[in-house]
Amino acid sequence: MPRCNAAVESKMDSDLAKIYAVTGSASGMGHAVVERLRQQGHTVVGVDIKDADVVADLSTAAGRRAAAQEVLTACSGKLDGAVLAAGLGPTPRAERRITQVNYFGVTDLLEAWRSSLAKASRPKVVVFSSNSTTTVPVVPHRAVRSLLEGDPDKALRAYKFYGRAAPAMAYAASKIAVSRWVRRTAVTPEWAGAGIRLNALAPGAILTPLLERQLATPAEAENIRRFPVPIGGFGDPRQLAEWVVFMLSDSADFLCGSVVFVDGGSDAYFRADDWPRAVPARQLGSYLHRTRRFLNRTSP
């Protein structure tokens, strides 16, 4: 396990070198992020189920607790930022693991790391979402709501109605829920008020080992290639890593609670008129209430 020794701590005192935790560090986009951050001279504590600085199973509560604590031990209780890239795709008969890793593998770790992030100067967190949040139809609202309420078993019951499509529903619901958690949490006194910038990145089809395996299966490959990507082709993990580096940089100081789509235009193709949208009249009361509540919160 890496330790913040004297040499590392000396580097961290400079304006350039920082220490980051990255989940999903062993492959795909998470691995690309780790490589890019280390190229810049930063210290990275990688978390994955194998081949990582911290080896942990994020599909279990015990695994998440262990991962959170090992990272804090490795960096002596101070993090400059975190990248939550660990995730499972819509694998058959894996709805429970998908739900646990994609949602609780983000929220549990970040809650455990929040106070350590707050000790840093201008800390930033990037959570990997997905464009499935806006391009997968008929995702069960009950499942999303259940995850936000911390009830994965209720979410699993909602998936069962979809039969063979249950893994796809679990994947999309977990990504919608974690994106909403990011937007709700990012603007709270405990996060924005503590100077922590929390945002999400929503990739489309990126040429990771997972996508390569899917493309090697004729039936899956046909569906993937038929999916609308206006710019064409697939994204490169290194490109996504550059987006993450930007979202961790000082240039992103004013970025808070955003979900940034990097998907070749698929989200815009399907949902061009859904967002931005003006506040409707029926929500005016809630809008004014939230404005007053914010003013009361920030008053001396």
Catalytic residue among 103, 171, 269, 287: 171
Backbone φ and ψ for 175, nearest 5 degrees, come out as -75, -35
Gap between the Cα atoms of 183 and 148, Å rounded: 12
Q: Degrees (nearest 5) of the Cα angle 263, 268, 274?
A: 135
Please say if 162 is a catalytic residue.
no
Nearest to 85 by CA among 65, 110, 58, 106: 106
Provide the residue type at 43 as one letter.
Answer: T
Provide the residue type at 298 as one letter.
Answer: T
Q: Report the catalytic residues.
A: 171
